[in-house]
Amino acid sequence: MADDRRRSVSRRDLGRNDRFSDISPDLGQLDPEAFDEAFEESPDEALDLLAKMSQATDRDLSALARRLAGRLVLELSRTGQAQSRGVGKLTISKADENSGDLDIDASLDGLVSARAERRPPALDDLRASRWLQPETAICLLVDRSGSMSGERLASAALAAAVCAWRAPARFSVLAFGDKVVEMKGMGQTRNTEGLVADVLALRGHGTTDVGLALRAAKAQLATSNAKRRITILLSDAEVTTGGDPIPSAKALDELIVIAPEEEPDHARALVESAGGRLAEVGGPMSVLDALRSVVQ
């Protein structure tokens, strides 16, 4: 607790953002309309400020900011509909009124019988084709080593909310530095707003053991029976402690690395050596866009 207070953000520091005095004109106050105006003008800057306010020394402001962040992040994560990646399996089964396309060839016997009996075809006579998408499990790894800036916190919160939306029954969130902290386990049920609040409460800590984090992700995903298992590494992937992460990365089913565009070299080297995909991002909203494009 003493360490948390030491690392809290003062109103003086928050005041370096020109919009802060409008958004929080006094102690314990947060004006949602003023925040909305700031968000419309510059989403990344507004999210950065909101994340910093969630760690404010002013505890009432901090609580208000976390509640607003939880609602906003959930809203942003649900924007848009995930599209099929074309990796589903086409199946033929009995028709129903709610899904699938009528398969004329598979329904031909039933249609002929109905015609011969001079009656409308029943659902039991018909067959429909449907694309079944494989179930997906996701493990999100949040790099908390070094300094957790407002942008990094907002990016991590958005990433957690996207995972909760994309795979609500099968996702986990781990924070790591030189150790791994389970924020949500694969089999655990958690309120997403509460999870977002916990992510926003993260403090920077320790060195970076990428291999340890990747092994922890594999262990989480091994508990799921989903056919598709995705590890998302939110990090620049620079290793400052522990061993070579490449063997651990190669052991994963699918690896996606979301790295800051100003320092992508270590992340690029990891995916080139171990396989996987890299998205270079410039701020929280670009993290959101990157996740939408790769986690479908």
**Contacting residues for 67 by C-beta, under 8 A, at least 6 apart:** 193
pLDDT along the chain (296 residues), means of 10: 56 91 93 93 91 90 89 76 40 55 70 80 72 75 86 90 85 95 92 90 89 97 92 94 95 94 92 92 87 71
User: What pLDDT, on the 0 to 100 scale, is given for residue 118?
Assistant: 82
User: What pLDDT, on the 0 to 100 scale, is given for residue 6?
Assistant: 44
User: What pLDDT, on the 0 to 100 scale, is given for residue 201?
Assistant: 87
Rounded distance, CA 288 to CA 9, Å?
25
Percent of the chain with pLDDT over 70: 85
Residue 233: what are its φ and ψ, rounded to 5°?
Answer: -105, 110
User: What pLDDT, on the 0 to 100 scale, is given for residue 126?
Assistant: 76
Of 145, 136, 137, give the one whose Cα is nearest residue 234: 145
**Contacting residues for 199 by C-beta, under 8 A, at least 6 apart:** 142, 153, 156, 157, 160, 173, 175, 183
- pLDDT one-digit tens code per residue, 213-259: 999 999 999 999 888 999 999 999 999 999 999 999 999 999 999 99
How far is C-alpha 293 from the chain's CA centre? 12
How far is C-alpha 54 from the chain's CA centre? 19
User: What pLDDT, on the 0 to 100 scale, is given for residue 244?
Assistant: 95
User: Residue 127 forms beta bridges with which residues?
Assistant: 94
Cβ 15 vs Cβ 256: under 8 Å: no
Q: What is the pairing mode between strands 127-132 and 180-184?
A: unpaired
User: What's the token pair of residue 282?
Assistant: 């410039």
> In the predicted model, what is the mean pLDDT of the chain?
84
Can you list the domains of the chain with their CATH numbers? 2-76 (no CATH), 89-132 (no CATH), 136-294 (3.40.50.410)
Amino acid at 233: L
